């Protein structure tokens, strides 16, 4: 295997949950080298055990911080040398706690982690992407007010007054703290979709393929780390028991392997602007996510925020 034959894949959110399983699956490919962004690289022991060390680089990254994103992108450029990036997997995410938190960049933390930081990373690395590279952003069916699983989990879908309100977490002042946290998460995932579609409209598939991924409902992951004890208990220990009973629920292993396939196999999604689920079928999309005015409003704001940092 020569240096030029290596497929370089950059990922976020790969130290636990479905992202870890995606990295594990990619590590089975002898020609794949992974660069992983991790909030605490010194605690990425499970990841290091899952992927051969000679084909793994772990670098510090907190997608909630634009300063951290910029430093990570600089480190990636240094590590890649003359290699292009074959694919970019944008999987880092958080549900967020009941107290609204703003980052040092002045945006709501859930939005920053799930959406803005990833858009900033795209902007930093797009010139290094190989022709036709896949940029896969993890979304969620929680964005859709009609989603039955979302309703079961007390989500009511995204709330998008405008891009600035979404970025600040200013959605529904009458909501309870717990509902507001769910609203911020669902809205951040709508924003992932809006940005994906906005970028896809502007970029031919032969240059970059912008894809969104619905991982399904995947309990027993670290996503609920900022929620209360009861919610964490249900997500970690109770909901995994119903996975075999509901078609929208899946396991980290199954969902992660599908994400890995999207990153390493261009023939699975040759066209840009697709939203696919963990079965590689078109995922159900809230009709409002197709609004080009929302897409353009959000992309313009995110571009402004990243340029300002």
The full set of domain ranges for the chain reads 3-308
pLDDT interval class at 248 (50, 70, 90)? confident
* CB-CB contact of 147 with 217 (8 Å): no
**Its pTM surpasses 0.75:** yes
What's the pLDDT score for residue 249? 80
Residue with structure tokens 């958080």? 94
Separation between Cα atoms, residue 67 and residue 124, nearest integer Å: 12
pLDDT surpasses 70 at 263: yes
Distance CA 241, CA 220 (A): 10
In angstroms, the CA 15 to CA 258 distance is 17
Spatial strand order of the sheet with 56-60 comes to: 56-60, 32-38, 7-12, 85-90, 129-138, 208-214, 275-277
DSSP string covering 233-269, please? HIIIIIGGGGGGG-TTB--HHHHHHHHHHHHH-GGGS
The three-point CA angle 167-193-130 to 5° equals 110
The CATH code of domain 3-308 reads: 3.40.50.720
- Looking from the CA of 53 toward its CB, the CA atoms found within 13 Å total 3
* Sign, Cα dihedral of 289, 262, 7, 56: positive
Q: Is the pLDDT of residue 179 over 70?
A: yes
| 125: pLDDT strictly greater than 90 | yes
Q: Which of 111, 119, 91, 127 is nearest to 252 (CA)?
A: 91
Structure tokens at 92: 């880092």
| Average pLDDT of the segment spanning 25-36 | 97
Residue count (the chain)? 309
State residue 95 phi and psi, 5-degree precision. Answer: -80, -35
What integer pLDDT is reported at residue 245 of this predicted model? 52
**pLDDT at residue 225 tops 90:** no
The whole-angstrom separation of Cα 231 and Cα 216 is: 18
């Amino acid at each position: 295997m020569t240096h030029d034959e290596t497929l370089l894949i950059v990922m976020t959110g790969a130290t636990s949950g479905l992202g870890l399983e995606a990295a594990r699956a990619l590590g089975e490919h002898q020609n794949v080298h992974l660069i992983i962004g991790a909030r605490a690289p010194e605690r990425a022991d499970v990841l290091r055990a899952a992927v051969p060390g000679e084909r793994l680089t772990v670098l510090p990254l907190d997608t909630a911080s634009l300063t951290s994103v910029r430093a990570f992108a600089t480190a990636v450029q240094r590590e890649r040398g003359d290699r292009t990036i074959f694919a970019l997997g944008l999987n880092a995410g958080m549900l967020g706690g009941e107290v609204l938190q703003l980052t040092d960049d002045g945006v709501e933390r859930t939005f920053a982690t799930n959406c803005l930081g990833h858009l900033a990373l795209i902007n930093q690395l797009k010139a290094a992407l190989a022709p036709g590279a896949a940029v896969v952003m993890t979304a969620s069916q929680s964005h859709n007010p009609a989603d039955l699983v979302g309703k079961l989990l007390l989500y009511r879908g995204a709330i998008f007054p405008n891009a600035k309100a979404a970025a600040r977490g200013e959605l529904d002042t009458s909501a309870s703290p717990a509902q507001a946290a769910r609203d911020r998460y669902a809205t951040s995932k709508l924003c992932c979709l809006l940005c994906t579609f906005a970028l896809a409209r502007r970029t031919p598939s032969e240059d970059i393929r912008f894809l969104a991924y619905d991982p399904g409902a995947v309990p027993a992951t670290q996503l609920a780390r900022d929620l209360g004890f009861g919610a964490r208990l249900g997500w970690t220990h109770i909901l995994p028991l119903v996975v075999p009973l509901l078609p929208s629920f899946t396991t980290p292993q199954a969902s992660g392997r599908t994400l890995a396939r999207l990153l390493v196999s261009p023939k699975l999604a040759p066209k840009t602007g697709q939203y696919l689920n963990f079965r590689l079928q078109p995922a159900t999309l809230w009709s409002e996510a197709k609004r080009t005015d929302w897409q353009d409003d959000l992309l313009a704001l995110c571009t402004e925020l990243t340029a300002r940092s």
